[in-house]
Amino acid sequence: MSAEPPVKSIVIAGGGTAGWMAAAALSRMLDTSQVKITLVESEAIGTVGVGEATIPNIATFNKMLGIEEREFMAATNATIKYGIEFAGWTKETESYFHPFGTHGRDMMGMSFHQFWRKMHALGKAERLENYCATAMAAKQGKACLPSRDPKSLMSTLSHAYQFDAGLYAAYLRKFSERNGAVRMEGKITDVDVDSESGFIKTLHMDNGESLSGDFFIDCTGFRALLSEKVMGTPFRDWSHWLPCDSALAVGSEKQTDTPPYTRATARQAGWQWQIPLQHRTGNGHVYCSSYLSDEKAGETLLHTLETSPLGAPKQLRFKTGQRERMWTKNCLALGLSGGFLEPLESTSIYLIQAGISRLLALFPDSGFNTTEIDEYNRLMDMEFAQVRDFLILHYVANERHGEPFWDYVRNMSVPDSLTRKIELFKSRGRFFRYEGDLFTETSWVAVFLGQNVLPQSYNAIVDGMPERDIDAALNAIKSELDRDIPHMPSHEEFLSRYCPSKMAI
């Protein structure tokens, strides 16, 4: 039994992806006749307007909300995302694929890549990604739902989505309002804080309205209006490890054959994304302003677009890192107000989702128990740190010698937690996923190998299986994929049958 009265009123400041994801989850999980949920946002300020590629975990969020995939994809003009193609991260002309799903089939309880490593050294295996159903489907521009037959490699297909960020927020807004959340328009100009407790009491808007609450969720984006400006929570700066600090984003016309994946192409001082949607293509150039001017970055972006631009590029500035405490007193920072790790692996929306599920697990009463708040902050620190390490790996393991930005990131010192992972993998290709780690062994192995971090050897247990049996197993996987992938519908066909955007109207 709680000694403190329950939270009766939640105020969400900001209506971007973070604000509406929070409103959607809270309005679904709480009884809105008992707990008032109000979101205030400013049309004049608008949202960051990017954030269109996701990772498969978003399906868990949708399931929690009871959202049906087809309806959601149609409403947000979404496409299937099977992973990310990284072009030019080692040598200018090389590329690799980071797939969702798994590589091949594990054998004798041992990861597939261990067997592959042995056969590859003997010249008897193709690239690892050629044994992955998800990667092969992506490369051939195919898409379908995974098979329910666990014996089929087609059951290992795994996807996320690429969607229109504006449509996603609008979709979640409708969902939240249906569930009893209330939206207010207004620009927050003043905040009352209790002089004794330091708790936030009331937000005041430029239109003369005000909004009081028990619990405040700061979703005001990079402005971090409540967590930084009011609560004064410092920012943990990680830009020495992830030095990109700028981006230019522009939409372009839809591609003819919409690829079922995101592309991240390394550039002179950063990289460029290409995110295919049903109605247009999202593009952006992420770069480090100490190594590249905005003008040059813009020229590169516009000269390398595959389809005609739909407007002028929008400039964005950011600092990589996280707030030292996501939750302070009765104020929780969610989304960009809580931190930002650059979008290379499309992890920001996931981090919002992680923040929401931790909040639900540690939902407060009006006593705001400090042990519970500390636990929330500890869990979110772990989430951010392991995503940070995964991102750094892409930079530190580059082979773009002679380019100042790439020389810097290749030679920088990295967190010990990442050094340990790299050394362990370099020895015999081993990787261990710890509690709370987001990325799977498939992801780490794909990026290690893709970035030419090669294991010297393999786990000696592999030698317990006769070489001819390993050879036969690898060939069987290849044959199965060569047989089944061509029969999948093209991504375009799949979208037009499964979730055409007109379905949502």
Ligand X SMILES: Cc1cc2nc3c(=O)[nH]c(=O)nc-3n(C[C@H](O)[C@H](O)[C@H](O)COP(=O)(O)OP(=O)(O)OC[C@H]3O[C@@H](n4cnc5c(N)ncnc54)[C@H](O)[C@@H]3O)c2cc1C
Say how many C-beta atoms besides its own lie within 10 A of residue 487's C-beta: 9
Please say which residue, 41 or 441, places its beta carbon nearer to ligand X.
41
Nearby residues of 413 by Cβ (< 8 Å), 6 or more positions away? none
Q: Choose one: 96-104, 236-244, 332-340, 357-365; the region binding ligand X (CB under 6 A).
A: 332-340
218 three-class SS: strand
Q: Choose one: 11-19, 106-114, 428-436, 496-504; the region binding ligand X (CB under 6 A).
A: 11-19
**In whole angstroms, what is the distance from residue 154 CA to residue 132 CA?**
10
Q: Choose one: 12-20, 86-94, 367-375, 468-476; the region binding ligand X (CB under 6 A).
A: 12-20
Cβ at position 278, least distance to ligand X in Å: 16
Cβ at position 262, least distance to ligand X in Å: 7
Cβ at position 484, least distance to ligand X in Å: 30
- Residues 121-160: x where in contact with ligand X by CB under 6 A, - otherwise, as a string: ----------------------------------------
Bridge partners, 10 (sequence order)? 37, 215
Judged by CB under 6 A, the residue of 80, 336, 387, 438 near ligand X is 336
**What's the chain's Rg over C-alpha atoms?**
23
Judged by CB under 6 A, the residue of 110, 316, 382, 412 near ligand X is 316
Residues 172-211 that bind ligand X (CB under 6 A): 187-188
Please say which residue, 114 or 348, places its beta carbon nearer to ligand X.
348
Quick check: 222 and 48 in contact, CB under 8 A? Answer: yes
Q: Choose one: 114-122, 341-349, 358-366, 408-416; the region binding ligand X (CB under 6 A).
A: 341-349
Please say which residue, 104 or 335, places its beta carbon nearer to ligand X.
335
Bridge partners, 162 (sequence order)? 53, 79
Residues 347-376 that bind ligand X (CB under 6 A): 348-349, 352
223 scored as a contact of ligand X (CB under 6 A): yes
273 three-class SS: strand
Instruction: Please state whether beta strands 215-218 and 331-333 pair in parallel, antiparallel, or not at all (unpaired).
Output: parallel
Cβ at position 474, least distance to ligand X in Å: 34
Judged by CB under 6 A, the residue of 56, 83, 88, 221 near ligand X is 221
Cβ at position 263, least distance to ligand X in Å: 12
Residues 281-300 that bind ligand X (CB under 6 A): 284
Closest CA to 341 of 349, 330, 353, 333: 349
102 three-class SS: coil
- DSSP characters over 321-348: EEES-SEETTEEE-GGGTEE--GGG--H
- Residues 157-176: x where in contact with ligand X by CB under 6 A, - otherwise, as a string: --------x-----------
Cβ at position 31, least distance to ligand X in Å: 25
Closest CA to 313 of 323, 293, 299: 299
Please say which residue, 47 or 114, places its beta carbon nearer to ligand X.
47
Size of the site for ligand X (CB under 6 A): 39
Please say which residue, 340 or 376, places its beta carbon nearer to ligand X.
340
Residues 14-33 that bind ligand X (CB under 6 A): 14-19
**In whole angstroms, what is the distance from residue 100 CA to residue 488 CA?**
17
Q: What letters, b where the CB count within 10 A reaches 16 and e where it falls short, cover 225-252? A: bbbbebbebebeebeebbbbbbbbbbbb
Cβ at position 235, least distance to ligand X in Å: 14
Judged by CB under 6 A, the residue of 23, 37, 40, 485 near ligand X is 40
Please say which residue, 16 or 455, places its beta carbon nearer to ligand X.
16
Asked whether the CA dihedral 179, 184, 189, 194 is positive or negative, the reply is negative
**In whole angstroms, what is the distance from residue 138 CA to residue 491 CA?**
9
Judged by CB under 6 A, the residue of 28, 37, 41, 392 near ligand X is 41
Please say which residue, 104 or 186, places its beta carbon nearer to ligand X.
186
42 scored as a contact of ligand X (CB under 6 A): yes
Asked whether the CA dihedral 298, 301, 302, 304 is positive or negative, the reply is positive
Phi and psi torsions of 364, nearest 5°: -85, 165
Quick check: 253 and 280 in contact, CB under 8 A? Answer: yes
Cβ at position 27, least distance to ligand X in Å: 17
- DSSP characters over 398-466: ---TT-HHHHHHHHS---HHHHHHHHHHHHH----PPTT--S-HHHHHHHHHHTT---SS--GGGGGS-
**In whole angstroms, what is the distance from residue 107 CA to residue 111 CA?**
7
Cβ at position 316, least distance to ligand X in Å: 5
Q: Choose one: 51-59, 73-81, 85-93, 408-416; the region binding ligand X (CB under 6 A).
A: 51-59
Judged by CB under 6 A, the residue of 80, 211, 219, 356 near ligand X is 219
Nearby residues of 377 by Cβ (< 8 Å), 6 or more positions away? 325, 326, 327
268 scored as a contact of ligand X (CB under 6 A): no
Positions in the binding site for ligand X (CB under 6 A): 14-19, 40-42, 45-48, 50-54, 165, 187-188, 219-221, 223, 225, 247, 249, 284, 316, 318, 335-337, 343, 346, 348-349, 352
